[in-house]
């Protein structure tokens, strides 16, 4: 199998051994059969679900590949105003969000339209338009490939941060996935009203003030429209969506960092307490890229360019290789570093390739 078929970038070389896990049990069995061993190759196993956060090298992957295809949602009433929903890792994320709104639940509406599966969301602490999954996740059931045990990690155990978590940091530190998500449990409110709108662009689209609540379905429609305008809703016919979404994360910097006066600056909050961290600020990667001279559609050739709609997305224009995307990413990162002294960090997982190579 060619791994390009499994990712939204549509690049990547061949895989030798591919196993499909259609259930939670099958996924756990695969993990048990492929324990994480000291001294082994890194990464030793590749787990693929929606493929929306992967850039796989042109040489492909020589180890075992597991396709996470488990589905299912179980809902339990906690109180008259709250529900717990346990969702299998392979469940389509946006379909699940739509389902929560159909059930009259609130909390995930601002995260509509994000590609991928439920199991990937806690790893990355997926977020958009002022919301993050960390705010709604009750716990995550994982398989620890080091110990061979199934563990339930609560919100504190997961150590969420901006686009990161204990799951992601552990994988980065070991060079391989240790904790494989089997299922995620969310705590959601019962209401047709959205969470307070916290993102200026979304508030403008809804024609409301920040902090107001509106019908959850209106928020979903507005978010889908905003994402589509940026090429962030998958469309086979639109090469601006042949990407991994935002390629670089927004930099988090010391509060006294030397930024241009006009650079956007946002607060950074502690993921556990929710309090603002006065030592840190966050700025916009898209703003840095654009001001460093890389506008929409910029490319070093025709095979890979920045999106025509959004400077934060690197895209495959139809026949790109991973090498083309990496070359463009390195060029942009070097330009931003030269202009502002800030090194951008990639958001997708790079498999069999690196920006530092």
pLDDT digits (tens, 9 = 90+) for 72-92: 999 999 999 999 999 999 999
**56 pLDDT more than 70:** yes
Specify the residue for token string 């090429």: 231
Rounded mean pLDDT of 308-313?
96
pLDDT of residue 357: 66
**244 pLDDT more than 80:** yes
Query: In the numeric block, which tokens belong to residue 80?
Result: 């008259």
Q: For 275-301, give one letter per residue: b (16+ CB within 10 A) or e.
A: eeeeebbbbbbbbbbbbbebebebbee
Band of pLDDT at residue 276, cut at 50, 70 and 90: confident
pLDDT of residue 64: 97
Residues 140 and 214: their CA atoms lie apart, in Å, by 29
Helices 216-229 and 93-102, axial angle in degrees (round to 10): 150
Q: List, in order, residues 6 or more apart from 236 with CB less than 8 Å away.
A: none
Specify the residue for token string 């570093």: 337
Cβ count near 155 (within 10 Å): 18
Domains of the chain, each with CATH number or no CATH: 3-68 (3.30.43.10), 73-206 (3.30.465.10), 239-351 (3.90.78.10)
**292 pLDDT more than 80:** yes
**Residues labelled catalytic:** 163, 246, 347
Task: Please check whether residue 125 is in contact with residue 132, taking contact to mean a CB–CB distance below 8 angstroms.
Answer: yes
Band of pLDDT at residue 270, cut at 50, 70 and 90: confident
Rounded mean pLDDT of 134-141?
97
**117 pLDDT more than 70:** yes
Task: Please check whether residue 108 is in contact with residue 100, taking contact to mean a CB–CB distance below 8 angstroms.
Answer: yes
Task: Please check whether residue 336 is in contact with residue 345, taking contact to mean a CB–CB distance below 8 angstroms.
Answer: no
Cβ count near 228 (within 10 Å): 17
pTM over 0.85: yes
Cβ count near 244 (within 10 Å): 24
**272 pLDDT more than 70:** no
- Residue 180, beta-bridge partner list: 143
pLDDT of residue 271: 61
């Amino acid at each position: 199998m060619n791994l390009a078929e499994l990712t939204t970038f549509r690049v990547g070389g061949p895989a030798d051994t591919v196993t499909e896990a259609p259930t939670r049990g099958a996924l756990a069995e695969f993990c048990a059969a492929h324990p994480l061993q000291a001294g082994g190759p890194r990464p030793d196993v590749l787990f693929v679900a929606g493929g929306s956060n992967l850039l796989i090298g042109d040489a492909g992957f020589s180890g075992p590949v597991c396709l996470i295809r488990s589905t299912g949602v179980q809902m339990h009433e906690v109180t008259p105003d709250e529900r717990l929903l346990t969702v299998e890792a392979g469940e389509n994320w946006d379909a699940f969000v739509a389902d929560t709104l159909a059930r009259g639940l609130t909390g995930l509406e601002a995260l509509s339209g994000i590609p991928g599966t439920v199991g990937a969301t806690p790893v990355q602490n997926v977020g958009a338009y002022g919301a993050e999954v960390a705010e709604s996740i009750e716990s995550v059931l994982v398989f620890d490939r080091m110990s061979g045990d199934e563990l339930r990690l609560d919100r504190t155990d997961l150590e969420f941060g901006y686009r990161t978590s204990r799951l992601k940091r552990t994988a980065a530190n070991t060079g391989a996935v240790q904790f494989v998500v089997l299922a995620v449990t969310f705590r959601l409110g019962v209401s047709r009203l959205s969470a307070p709108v916290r993102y200026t662009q979304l508030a403008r689209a809804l024609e409301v003030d920040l902090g107001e609540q509106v019908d959850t379905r209106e928020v979903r429609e507005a978010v889908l429209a905003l994402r589509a305008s940026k090429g962030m809703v998958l469309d086979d016919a639109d090469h601006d969506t042949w990407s991994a979404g935002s390629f670089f994360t927004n930099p988090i910097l010391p509060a006294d960092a030397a930024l241009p006066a006009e650079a956007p600056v946002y607060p950074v909050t502690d993921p556990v307490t929710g309090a603002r961290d006065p030592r840190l600020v966050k700025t916009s990667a898209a703003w840095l890229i654009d001001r460093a001279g890389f506008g929409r559609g910029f490319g070093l050739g025709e095979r890979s360019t920045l999106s025509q709609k959004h400077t934060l997305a690197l895209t495959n224009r139809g026949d790109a290789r991973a090498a083309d995307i990496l070359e463009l990413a390195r060029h942009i990162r070097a330009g931003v570093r030269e202009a502002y002294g800030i090194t951008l960090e990639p958001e997708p997982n790079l498999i069999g390739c690196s920006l530092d190579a």
